[in-house]
Amino acid sequence: MRKLAVDASEDPVTSDILFTLQLRTTNEPLLPNLETFECEGTIDGAFIHFIPTFLSRETTDIDIGFDEDSPTVMFTSIITKLPTLCPNLGRITLNDLPRDPVIIEAASEMLLACNRDTLNGSA
């Protein structure tokens, strides 16, 4: 699978199903060849935890919309993991992040940790 597009507003998969799938992958990505991860709508705190399950070393394009009411620690946790989970990121779009100093710091650290040779600097 090259691309996964999830519509978070429709909640196609429950967190119980994702938790079961996460246990079955034993610290390996659920979709090891995934290049593009897109999440339409907004992801709430319950789904944020499962994002790493979908991402892999092959993922180069991420587009996620977050629910602004989710706890700050949930945002910072996933943001700081992105360069490690996907070392060859070319494009990252994180929508609706709250303007919180902790999140701004996490996003800055994430960008500094990304591979400069692969990250596309265009807006």
C-alpha–C-alpha distance, residues 113 and 58, integer Å:
17
Cβ–Cβ under 8 Å, residues 46 and 77 = no
C-alpha–C-alpha distance, residues 87 and 45, integer Å:
24
pLDDT band for 109, please (50, 70, 90 cuts). Answer: very high
User: What is the model's pLDDT at position 90?
Assistant: 93
Q: pLDDT tens across 1-40, in order?
A: 577 666 655 555 565 655 566 555 566 777 788 899 988 7
User: What is the model's pLDDT at position 61?
Assistant: 95
C-alpha–C-alpha distance, residues 9 and 6, integer Å:
9
